[in-house]
Amino acid sequence: MTAVAIGALLYEGKAKRVHATDQPDLVAVEYKDDATAFNALKKAQLTGKGALNCRISALLFEHLERCGIPTHYLGVRDSLWMMVRPVRVIPVEVVVRNIAAGSLCRQLPIAAGSRLQPALIDLYYKDDALGDPLLSEARLERLQLVSPEQLASIRALALQVNAVLGELFAGVGLELVDFKIELGFTTTGDLVVADEISPDSCRLWDRAISDSQERILDKDRFRQDLGGVVEAYGEVLKRVQGVCPEPRVYG
């Protein structure tokens, strides 16, 4: 395979940069060490976070694909780069919750730590300036972001992701508390999971630890100033790579 040349910066987000490449149906995503929380009011540089999230995301995307769930992922290159198919991302953050935590408990009288069965799906309009507001179905319809049929496919895909990842994590002693995914359409119109899936976008608790702070292995360590953020992400990687094949190298 000839080496892919990485081209112009197309978009810079809080945790990643997206670049064009010299191939039309290929974009390159660079994972950054930048950590942000509370709509970027809290910021830090966490050395090693980009590489950890790139690798964890790669392993999880490949696992999803093996389980028949389509994603934008094609492979990794070096430690910080992920090669993906270009996708028109739907500006909706899809959050699936298995255990009550975070904003759910701040906004509703639901006790933190209570199990949510069936899993709860919350949709948010992806817009930093507006603070990613919670969407109702009526608001979603008003914005005309997706058709009712597409919404049904998005929900079904999100629940499939939840089932597959929940099982994977449970197998390595981790509880998938909740997670956020983004979905989009490829140039051929297929709905796929895009963006990243990492401890930046999931809540993961060590099942063997009952202490409500010690068990946290995700971005809540950063949000709550608990320290040990990179070490926690490293622990997630160690466990996941113990049960997944090496990620494929692309480009």
> Two tokens at 166?
């929940």
Give SS3 for 29.
Answer: strand
Residues 127-166 vs ligand 5GP: string with x where CB under 6 A?
-----x----------------------------------
DSSP 173: T
Q: Does 95 bind ligand 5GP (CB under 6 A)?
A: yes
Q: Pick from 62, 178, 206, 235: which binds ligand 5GP (CB under 6 A)?
A: 178
Q: Pick from 63, 77, 219, 239: which binds ligand 5GP (CB under 6 A)?
A: 219
User: Which range in 48-56, 97-105, 184-192, 235-243 contacts ligand 5GP by CB under 6 A?
Assistant: 97-105
Q: Does 201 bind ligand 5GP (CB under 6 A)?
A: yes
First to last CA, the chain: 7
Cα–Cα dist 90/124, whole Å = 11
Q: Does 31 bind ligand 5GP (CB under 6 A)?
A: no
User: Which range in 3-11, 64-72, 137-145, 197-205 contacts ligand 5GP by CB under 6 A?
Assistant: 197-205
Nearer to ligand 5GP, 1 or 106 (CB): 106
Nearer to ligand 5GP, 62 or 196 (CB): 196
Cα–Cα dist 200/182, whole Å = 13
Backbone angles phi, psi at 153, to 5 degrees: -65, -40
Question: In b/e form, how buried is each residue of 199-233, taking b as 16+ CB within 10 angstroms?
Answer: bbbbbbbbeeeeeeeebbbbbbbbeeeeeebbebb
Task: Tell me the closest approach of the beta carbon of residue 186 to ligand 5GP, in angstroms.
Answer: 22
